[in-house]
Chain A
């Protein structure tokens, strides 16, 4: 009941704010043409999505964009610009105040609460604070993502070694999260997010707590996962790192999309993970 009331309140607030926003719209530095190309290849699609946190708190404002299959895109912007709101909307942790979000062609609003867990199994998520289960070993943390899907012990045993090798955690199997470095913990988080091979992987500030060298390692890992065919959406406020990645960048400012470009550098998309790592290191030093 309270949720409905909140929803009604939010919608009323949207209407009130819209008048103000219409006036402000002309003054934005960059005019953005939505890049929505809906079709079978669209994995993530936002259409006029707004999210208000109570009166006056704008999380996201009429955001429209689409991310295609096998694309790696970055959401950039300062704190409070709406990056995390997009991530939270995508895992259905929060509901949009208006607009439609589609993932793999399916509108998220149509997914009822009971079905949300099944939806989340198709979206891997990595957080800035890792969000590992502190009472479980590396192996158990990653295995948990498979256990929730009902995988048998045999299936898990046959799947995990590959993921552990991919993420470079083969020697840390029996360690608990508190025994690992930040970079290693984030690798575990990435491994867990990727364990069930989801078609979409979200990373919210995955390098926010890490030093530059470790960050490069995580970016390489995400790049490798992307090259294996997974759509990857990364939120980051580390503009330099994002620029060096030379991927599509969607920039947010106060809840609005102010830039959405492929950086004109898509040409280098065929570099392999090692080449990417080398380039990032060279460019970081210079």
Chain B
């Protein structure tokens, strides 16, 4: 491949076809910009949804007079049980303090501590809270409960609440994935359409090249390189604007708004790499592929 010649050709073509080149550059810039805003938004939303999902817990109630030996036995049983990520012991005193803070009037009315010692179990995934409960609290055919340990009086996974959380976060995640898919689709369409238009205006040129005996790749390389440059320029422009927005808008707000300071949000450097790679790959591949139909001369 004669890189020098192809580079010269692609620069010449960009210079001589300034309007389509600017259009291609602008469409890459806009698309990358939108994508650059959207990726962190999806990330943050997913992060928030996951955060909520991680609050799905299963409470294992112990009998009121459970001895320390019984507590230790149940603990070791829980540690051996499947689908469990972590367990936390909450003594009846600790539970009382927490609940009284939330609902002081009700507890003042009761006048004593009605709470048992509990183990607060975090399932390995939110969907498995039901399985954890079933494991520890099996129903018999007669309707009586068969608890795995005599010291356990009940297992609660707040069924209704858990289901609401799961379905709500699932909907949010699905919607975001769908929106992201649509956006990527629209971006590819927009870019390939722009490239197509710019190639259409040059189809006669391609035809002449073919008649003179140029091979497909001899014609294609300058177009691919041109796509690569315009993609890189558009990507760089968009990243510049994003960086500006990050420094002036997002960073000052990061400390005050929870959503933006999500710990699992995409790293800005990684975002730059992803966007740049997308912009270049889509533009270069788009140029090379769109040319195909004009090469059939």
The answer to whether B214 touches A131 (Cβ under 8 A) is: no
* A-B residue pairs in contact (CB < 8 Å), sample of 28: A91-B211, A93-B211, A93-B297, A117-B210, A117-B213, A117-B214, A117-B216, A117-B218, A119-B213, A120-B210, A120-B211, A121-B213, A133-B205, A134-B205, A135-B12, A135-B13, A135-B16, A135-B17, A135-B205, A144-B209, A144-B212, A145-B212, A147-B5, A148-B209, A148-B212, A148-B213, A149-B213, A196-B213
- The minimal Cβ–Cβ distance linking A190 to chain B, given in whole angstroms, is 13
**B208 interface residue, CB < 8 Å from A?**
yes
Interface 1/0 per residue, B5-38 and A, CB below 8 Å:
1000000110011000000000000000000000
**B98 interface residue, CB < 8 Å from A?**
no
Interface size, chain B (Cβ < 8 Å): 20
Contacts of A78-130 to chain B: CB distance below 8 A: 91, 93, 117-121, 125
Among B5, B211, B214, which residue has the most Cβ atoms of chain A within 10 A?
Answer: B211
Q: How far is the CA of A9 from the CA of B207 in the complex (A)?
A: 27
Name 15 extra pairs, CB < 8 A, besides A117-B216, A135-B12, A135-B16. Answer: A91-B211, A93-B211, A117-B218, A120-B212, A125-B211, A131-B204, A131-B208, A131-B211, A132-B208, A144-B212, A145-B212, A147-B5, A148-B212, A149-B213, A196-B213
**A197 interface residue, CB < 8 Å from B?**
no
**A187 interface residue, CB < 8 Å from B?**
no
The answer to whether A148 touches B16 (Cβ under 8 A) is: no
**B67 interface residue, CB < 8 Å from A?**
no
A118 / chain B contacts, CB cutoff of 8 Å: 213, 215
Q: How far is the CA of A119 from the CA of B2 in the complex (A)?
A: 21
A192 / chain B contacts, CB cutoff of 8 Å: 212
Q: How far is the CA of A145 from the CA of B204 in the complex (A)?
A: 16
B207 / chain A contacts, CB cutoff of 8 Å: 131
- B residues neighboring A (CB under 8 Å): 2, 5, 12-13, 16-17, 204-205, 207-216, 218, 297
Q: Nearest residue in A to B216 (C-beta to C-beta)?
A: A117
A148 / chain B contacts, CB cutoff of 8 Å: 209, 212-215, 218
- The minimal Cβ–Cβ distance linking A215 to chain B, given in whole angstroms, is 22
Q: Nearest residue in B to A150 (C-beta to C-beta)?
A: B2
Among B205, B213, B297, which residue has the most Cβ atoms of chain A within 10 A?
Answer: B213
B214 / chain A contacts, CB cutoff of 8 Å: 117, 144, 148
Count CB-based A-B contacts (< 8 Å): 49
Interface size, chain A (Cβ < 8 Å): 21
A93 / chain B contacts, CB cutoff of 8 Å: 211, 297
A147 / chain B contacts, CB cutoff of 8 Å: 5
A91 / chain B contacts, CB cutoff of 8 Å: 211
Q: How far is the CA of A121 from the CA of B212 in the complex (A)?
A: 6
Q: How far is the CA of A91 from the CA of B205 in the complex (A)?
A: 17
A120 / chain B contacts, CB cutoff of 8 Å: 210-213
A150 / chain B contacts, CB cutoff of 8 Å: 2
Q: Nearest residue in A to B12 (C-beta to C-beta)?
A: A135
Q: How far is the CA of A148 from the CA of B212 in the complex (A)?
A: 8
Q: How far is the CA of A145 from the CA of B207 in the complex (A)?
A: 13
- The minimal Cβ–Cβ distance linking B6 to chain A, given in whole angstroms, is 10
Q: How far is the CA of A121 from the CA of B209 in the complex (A)?
A: 11
Contacts of A133-159 to chain B: CB distance below 8 A: 133-135, 144-145, 147-150
Shortest 5 CB-CB contacts between residues of A and residues of B: A121-B213, A120-B213, A135-B16, A148-B214, A117-B215
Q: Nearest residue in A to B215 (C-beta to C-beta)?
A: A117
- The minimal Cβ–Cβ distance linking B12 to chain A, given in whole angstroms, is 7
B2 / chain A contacts, CB cutoff of 8 Å: 150
The answer to whether A133 touches B208 (Cβ under 8 A) is: yes
Q: How far is the CA of A93 from the CA of B213 in the complex (A)?
A: 12
A117 / chain B contacts, CB cutoff of 8 Å: 210, 213-216, 218
- The minimal Cβ–Cβ distance linking A270 to chain B, given in whole angstroms, is 33
A121 / chain B contacts, CB cutoff of 8 Å: 212-213
Q: How far is the CA of A119 from the CA of B211 in the complex (A)?
A: 10
B218 / chain A contacts, CB cutoff of 8 Å: 117, 148
A145 / chain B contacts, CB cutoff of 8 Å: 212-213
Q: Nearest residue in B to A132 (C-beta to C-beta)?
A: B208
Q: How far is the CA of A125 from the CA of B213 in the complex (A)?
A: 10
Among B5, B204, B208, B210, which residue has the most Cβ atoms of chain A within 10 A?
Answer: B208
Q: Nearest residue in B to A123 (C-beta to C-beta)?
A: B213
B297 / chain A contacts, CB cutoff of 8 Å: 93
Among A133, A145, A192, which residue has the most Cβ atoms of chain B within 10 A?
Answer: A133
Q: Nearest residue in A to B217 (C-beta to C-beta)?
A: A117
Among A118, A125, A147, A192, which residue has the most Cβ atoms of chain B within 10 A?
Answer: A147
Q: How far is the CA of A12 from the CA of B209 in the complex (A)?
A: 34
- The minimal Cβ–Cβ distance linking B245 to chain A, given in whole angstroms, is 38
Q: Nearest residue in B to A119 (C-beta to C-beta)?
A: B213
Q: How far is the CA of A117 from the CA of B217 in the complex (A)?
A: 11
Q: Nearest residue in B to A193 (C-beta to C-beta)?
A: B212
